[in-house]
Structure formats: structure tokens, C-alpha cells
Amino acid sequence: MVRIVLADDQELVRTGFRMILRAEADFEVVGEAADGEEAVAQVARLRPDVVLMDIRMPRVDGLAATRRILEQPARTRVLILTTFDQDEYVFEALRAGASGFLLKTVPADQLVAGVREVAAGEALLAPAITRRLIERFVSGFGREPAPPPGYDELTAREREVLQLVARGMSNAEIADALVVERSTVKTHVAALLSKLGVRDRVGVVVLAYESGLAGSGT
């Protein structure tokens, strides 16, 4: 059973998500929060598997709440819910350790799949926003890419995979793009995490942004 906490200051949004998620036999919405402070308290008390976290909330916003939740010993994962005008906030949430993000307008089946994926320990990146983040942050560097520690150890194929992960592509999409098996992509991604010293594919994306490698073709 996947235990979920909903954190959003709009009651109608929480109600809509609750109805969608409770329709799944393996989901249980165990708590709701109208602000970040309440979300942190709910996680400490209920220890859910996943928190669906809005960014703009009163008292404590979703960014601060995410940081505080991920400092707790419970292995709760945070899935950020965003709108198209919150790029900077999304990037900061990923830096804070969120497992990914989805648009608030996402179809019900994609919301369910996203929660299930994050609960299983995977990272979730919405490609449409990821591409915008790349364009925005890479264009703002104004300097040559500075490869991070471990980058020199990557093979040519692993560097290709890094570029595709940084665009928000899933393993299946990468496999199609490179015409290889999904298991091969999974092996390459695991090598990226190990050599670059990051914990998940979100970490790969953040590292790619911060080093100027995302979209550079290096």
C-alpha cells in the first residue's frame, strides 16, 4: 500500500487529487495539509511514502517544507506539483532533493503513474518543463561547461545517456532514441549515478544544469 499526504493550500485541488488517488486499490491518502508547516508535521506523524507538494503555500512554502521533510529520518519522497510559471521554484525543489515534478494539469492516469513511480524509488521529470529549465539555465551561464568530478570517467555512450536524462527522458524513451534495450539504458544510468556521485536521475539533471552540461552536447 502506498501511503500519500496531499499538501496544497487549495481545498478543491486536494479534493480532486484525493478522488483520483483513492480510486486506486494500492493507494491510501493518509493526510492532507493546507500549508508547508502542516505538511512537515503530517509527514513526521504519519510517515507517508509520498508527499504531493504544492510550491506556493502560506506560512511555509513547498520549497522549505521539502527541505525539512527530507531532513527527517523517514524515507518519504516528495513529488512537486507545479504550473508552467514556476520554473525557478521547480529547480530549487529538485536541488532540495525532491524526486520529481508534475504539472497540476496532468491527466489522472499520469498522476497515478507518477505517484506509483516515485513510490517505487524512481525519479519523475516532466519533459516539457525540463526542456524549459535547460534552455533557461544553460543560456544564463555565459561560460564554457565545467565538467563535474567523475565526468571524465564516463564513456561516450554514458555521456549520450546523460544528455538524454538531462532532457527529462525516461529509460524507455532513451532506449528508443539510441535503439538499444531498456535494460542497457538502466545499466548506463546506474553507471552515471555511481561515477557522478548522485543518488538518482534527478541528481543527474541538477548536476547537468549546474555544471553547464545540459544541452551542451559535450
H helix intervals, the chain: 11-22, 36-46, 62-70, 87-95, 108-119, 127-139, 156-166, 171-178, 182-196, 201-211
Of 134-148, 169-183, 204-218, give the range with the top mean pLDDT: 169-183
Q: Report which of residues 112 and 144 the model is more confident about.
A: 112
Question: In the chain, what percentage of residues exceed pLDDT 70?
Answer: 87
- What's the whole-model pTM score? 0.75
Burial 135-172 (b: 16+ CB within 10 A, else e): eebbeeeeeebebbeebeebeeebbbbbbbbbbbbbbe
Ranges in the chain annotated CATH 3.40.50.2300: 2-124
Ranges in the chain annotated CATH 1.10.10.10: 144-211
Query: 156-166 vs 171-178: helix axis angle to the nearest 10?
Result: 130
Q: Please provide the average confidence, as pLDDT, over all residues in the chain.
A: 86
Question: In the chain, what percentage of residues exceed pLDDT 90?
Answer: 50
Q: Options 3.90.180.10, 3.40.50.2300, 2.102.10.10, 3.90.580.10; which CATH number does 2-124 get? A: 3.40.50.2300
CATH code for 144-211?
Answer: 1.10.10.10
